[in-house]
Amino acid sequence: MNFLAILERFIKENGWKLSMSQMKKLCSECKARFDVNLDDLEEGDAVACSECNLEYTLVADKKGNLKLIESKTFEMEDDEEESSEEAEEDCDSD
């Protein structure tokens, strides 16, 4: 058993949580840097800047990489997808 495996086993046996999923984000509004613990989040969850409270949404790109994008931008993209799906449904019904 290698050192990392022993360490992981020790941590689990003692009820500790090993967190290796951290992301640093530079706020587009106030330029503050803040850390985000990805272990506590799922795709679609909102995170706010610690300085100006600008809200970001956690999304996965096509490759499966997690990214934080401004919630307003995310909502606009989501609305565009819904309207294009509705347009496709209208075309199919003819």
Centroid of chain to Cα 56: 8
The 10 Å Cβ neighbour count of residue 24 is 8
Could you list the residue range(s) of the whole structural domain that residue 60 is in?
3-92
| Amino acid found at 48 | A
Q: Mean pLDDT of successive 10-residue segments in the chain (94 residues)?
A: 78 67 89 88 90 92 86 66 56 51
Q: How far apart are CA 35 and CA 37, in angstroms?
A: 7
Counted domains in the chain:
1
Tally of helices (H runs) and strands (E runs) in the chain: 2, 5
Look at residue 37 in the predicted model and tell me its pLDDT. 85
Q: Which DSSP state fits 47?
A: E
- Predicted local distance difference test score (pLDDT) of residue 94: 47
